[in-house]
Structure formats: structure tokens, C-alpha cells
Amino acid sequence: MNYTFDFQSVSYGPLLDGLIVTLQLTAAANLIGIILGFPLALMIMSRIADIRVPAMLFVEFFRCTPAIVQIVWFFYCVPMLFNVFLGSMTMGILALGLNLMAFNAEAYRAAIQGVPREQLDAGIALGLNPLQRTLYIVLPTAIRASIPVLLTNGIGSFQQSALVAIVAVQDLMYEAKTLATETYRPIETFTIVALVYFAVSFPVAQIVGFLERRRQLVTG
């Protein structure tokens, strides 16, 4: 192998700009997924079929189809079918956010099912109505129990955000592809990009592991 590595030839400015866009995508998608995932979980657990079935179909669609297909579908099909024209960044956020919303809903659902019956009975004894019991008892308990899974899903959305490069969102991967083409240094460029993704994901993964071990000690 006669290849000579030259990391100094890689311009870090565009990669930094792309990283900022990637973090913005991830933050917006997680905001959608965390906030809307909980009511979606409640809909899945509803006794009313007209509410439960569409919610279950929504979750299964996003869980059982590739994220790249979802991103492409939003970018190309939504404007054609609904005459709605949004920027590629907005489309990317919607696709990633709805995908994350489906996965978070399952995390919330498992956490809701784990809420002790005694807490709900105490809420009834205090005279709380169903909405109040949901807000003051179920929601806080479910969020605490599902934090490790939510963080893990957040890491996944950060990594999956690289897929929006195919619809011309100028994220980290898009800038890396452009830079690699211009400099003819794909090895150096994508090695740096891989290290950036690792540097962001690894600390969060360690936090998830810590929370899991702490939870096992508390419940054990």
C-alpha cells in the first residue's frame, strides 16, 4: 500500500458547519420524539379501537421500514401528494422526529405498564381525575423509567441523521462527501467524520450504561 495519509489537507471548517446542522437536526428530532412519544403511547394503550389501531399502525410503519426510505418518501412524496412544499431541513426533521416518536412511544408504553398499581390507587384515593393521574403520577414515573431508552434512541437519531445527506441537507455527512470529492482524500475525511460521530455518541452511551447500572442497584 503506497497511500500517504495527509490529514492536514482536510478543511475542518465545512465539517464543523455540517456538525452544527447535524446537532440541530438531532435536537429537533428528539424534541418531537420525546414530547409526542408519550401521548402516542397513551393512544396505543387506549381501549377505543378507533384511537388504538391508527396509533399502532403509525408505530409499526416507522419501526418496520428503513429510515432512509422514510426520509426519501417525505422529501419526494409529500410535496406531490399533499401539495406541501417545505425545505429539505424541515423534511429531514419531520422524518427523523416521527421515526423517533414511534420508538419512544414503545419505550413510554413499557414504562407506563411498569407504574405500580399502588400509586394509581393512591391518586384515586386523593380524588385525582384520570387526566390528573396521568400528568402527576404516570408521566413523571414513566419518564424516569424510560430515560435510558430515550437516550439510546437519541444516539440512534444522531447517527441516522447522516441519511439526510441524500436529500441535500448540508449536514456532517453531506459536507464530508463534498469535501472528499474536492480533495480526493476520502480516507482522511471519513475517518475524521467517524471519530466525530464516536466522540458525540460515546459519552452519551456511557451515561446510559451508568443509569442502567444505577437502576439495577435501586430495583435490586
175-202 residue pLDDT tens: 999 999 998 889 999 999 999 999 999 9
Let me know if residue 56 belongs to a domain: yes
Weakest-pLDDT range from 22-31, 115-124, 150-159: 115-124
Let me know if residue 4 belongs to a domain: no
Let me know if residue 125 belongs to a domain: yes
Let me know if residue 6 belongs to a domain: no
Query: What angle (nearest 5°) sits at the alpha carbon of residue 6, between those of residues 4 and 12?
Result: 155
For the stretch 33-82, pLDDT in tens is 999 999 999 999 999 999 999 999 999 999 999 999 999 998 888 888 88
Let me know if residue 2 belongs to a domain: no
What is the extent of the structural domain holding 200? 11-219
Let me know if residue 206 belongs to a domain: yes
SS3 47: coil
Q: Considering the chain, what is the average pLDDT of its residues?
A: 91
Let me know if residue 3 belongs to a domain: no
Distance CA 174, CA 39 (A): 34
Q: What is the pTM of this model?
A: 0.89
Let me know if residue 160 belongs to a domain: yes
φ, ψ of residue 197 to 5 degrees: the values are: -60, -40
Name the domain count of the chain: 1
- The reported pLDDT for the residue numbered 215 is 75
Specify the CATH number for the domain of residue 184.
Answer: 1.10.3720.10
Q: Which helix (H) or strand (E) holds 145?
A: helix 139-160
The amino acid that residue 178 corresponds to is T
Distance CA 17, CA 23 (A): 10
